[in-house]
Amino acid sequence: MGWLEGKVALITGGGSGIGRALVERFLEEGASVGVLERSSENVRSLKEQFGDQIVALQGDVTLLEDNERAVAETVQAFGKLDTFIGNAGIFDFFATLPNLPKEKIDQTFDQVFGVNVKGPLYGAKAALPELLKTHGNIVFTVSNAAFYPAGGGPLYTASKHAVLGLVRELAYELAPKIRVNGVAPGGTLTNLSGPAALEQDTLTNSSIEGIEDLMKGTNPLHIVPSPRDHTGAYVLLASNQQSMAMTGVVINSDGGLGVRGFDTVAGGEDL
């Protein structure tokens, strides 16, 4: 029997990367899963692979009504909701402030913060009534960029600091009925894309030249984790039985960045 036997989870951005790995892992642990995913192609792939084990919807996490629809259809299919995982995100491909075109900052800010901050906030708002019924929990995907510089550019880094703030504030506001925690993955090879305003929406972080060496060189374990390598932390936090005393916690799944930080300092190179 898995740790999530009989539970129901809703995962945003569940069509690829860490989100897709979470869908697979949660099903293995005995959960039923709803997915809100932007890509219609990924939605079709999820349905083909998992059939009626999941409910997969195409939608936009930056729209409250799409989050509400995902909650409603997940509950209609499986009868309840125990866990909301705010996982959908976009990257800024290390776009530094000196290199950000001033005419694109406004739109880029809205796109990055829309997905990375408004998305989990809207998801939590939509899931709240159902989670209150089950004394459920929320898990947000944070990032090593919420704790250390050089995990992205200023927009991505600031957005992930904001997600860390959501974890702490919502853990305070929703206690004692709902636990709120986060997982902060380090560098992971996925197809995480960027904002359209910077013409990065067709890029993926795994396509960055030398990215594997960069990831290995900035963590003490010298590893490049797969998406699945992070899923155990989410399973732990989603299980009320296994983590009943944990709220406001972020598990750093980053190869040990916190014990050493980064070897090199890039500050000023673009000035």
Indicate if the pLDDT at residue 256 is higher than 60. Answer: yes
Instruction: Give residue 164's pLDDT.
Output: 98
At 51, is the pLDDT very low, low, confident or very high (cuts 50, 70, 90)? very high
At 264, is the pLDDT very low, low, confident or very high (cuts 50, 70, 90)? very low
Instruction: Give residue 40's pLDDT.
Output: 96
Q: Environment class of residue 23 by beta-carbon count within 10 Å: exposed (0-12), middle (13-18) or buried (19+)?
A: buried
Instruction: Give residue 52's pLDDT.
Output: 92
Q: How many residues does the chain have?
A: 271
Instruction: Give residue 255's pLDDT.
Output: 92
Mean pLDDT of 11-17: 96
Mean pLDDT of 102-129: 97
Catalytic residue set:
156
Measured in whole angstroms, how far is the alpha carbon of residue 90 from the centre of its chain? 9
Phi, psi of 242 (to 5 degrees): -90, -20
Higher pLDDT, 197 or 233: 233
Q: What is the mean pLDDT of the chain?
A: 93
At 46, is the pLDDT very low, low, confident or very high (cuts 50, 70, 90)? very high
Q: Which domains does the chain have, with CATH numbers?
A: 8-258 (3.40.50.720)
Instruction: Give residue 193's pLDDT.
Output: 85
Instruction: Give residue 266's pLDDT.
Output: 47
Instruction: Give residue 218's pLDDT.
Output: 83
H-type alpha helices, 136-207 = 154-174
Q: Which residues pair with 179 in a beta bridge?
A: 137
Residue 176: asked if its preceding bond is cis (omega within 30°), the reply is: yes
Instruction: Give residue 263's pLDDT.
Output: 52
Q: Are 151 and 192 in contact (CB under 8 A)?
A: no
Whole-model pTM? Answer: 0.93
Instruction: Give residue 189's pLDDT.
Output: 83
Indicate if the pLDDT at residue 210 is higher than 80. Answer: no
